[in-house]
Amino acid sequence: MLTGTSSVPLYWTNTGAGTVNKVDLPSTSVQILVSGQNVPAALAVDSSHIYWATALGGTIVRANPDGTAVTTLVSGQGSPGGVAVNSSHIYWANHAVGTIRQANLDGTGVTTLVSSQNLPAGVKVDSSHIYWANQGAGTIVQANLDSTGVTTLVSGQNGPVRVTVDSTHIY
């Protein structure tokens, strides 16, 4: 349970409803920030924006934390998901195409970092690496942020779809 007077925002997507949502914990009052999204499937947050992928829409989208100024940053993606963000880039898995991609935070400079992946899904970044789950291969993979050093960390999993990291572990 959270105590004190400060609130902690919790954001999520509702794929069935096509919404991006928020609750300021410890409140339980849900706010629909953005509606009308075509299967919003992944979400990342930085200090100034929320980012998400629309799996069927093939887009990477950004909005202010209050849901205003919704902007499509990247379009024409096969089935994007697994969005992650750091101070300079947004990253995503292009599930159907088998790639891990990045763009500048304004959507320019789209680059394929890694290709030939088997249904890549959940993506996370830390200060030096990007991590993702290869759902089709049953693996968890990492690469340097410059796309070198692609390494399978875990294999033999049954359809992994999400991954997260902290300063010492991958989950």
Whether pLDDT at 4 is above 70: no
Whether pLDDT at 35 is above 70: yes
In contact, 12 and 21? CB cutoff 8 Å: yes
d(CA 170, CA 158): 17
Mean pLDDT of 45-67: 96
Whether pLDDT at 2 is above 60: no
Mean pLDDT of 5-11: 83
Q: pTM for this one?
A: 0.92
d(CA 31, CA 65): 11
Beta strand residue intervals within 35-165, DSSP E: 40-45, 50-54, 59-63, 71-74, 80-85, 89-94, 99-104, 111-114, 120-125, 129-134, 139-144, 151-154
Whether pLDDT at 76 is above 70: yes
Class of domain 8-117: mainly beta
Whether pLDDT at 167 is above 90: no
Establish how many alpha carbons lie within 13 A of residue 28's alpha carbon, considering only the half-sphere containing its beta carbon.
1
Domain spans, the chain: 8-117
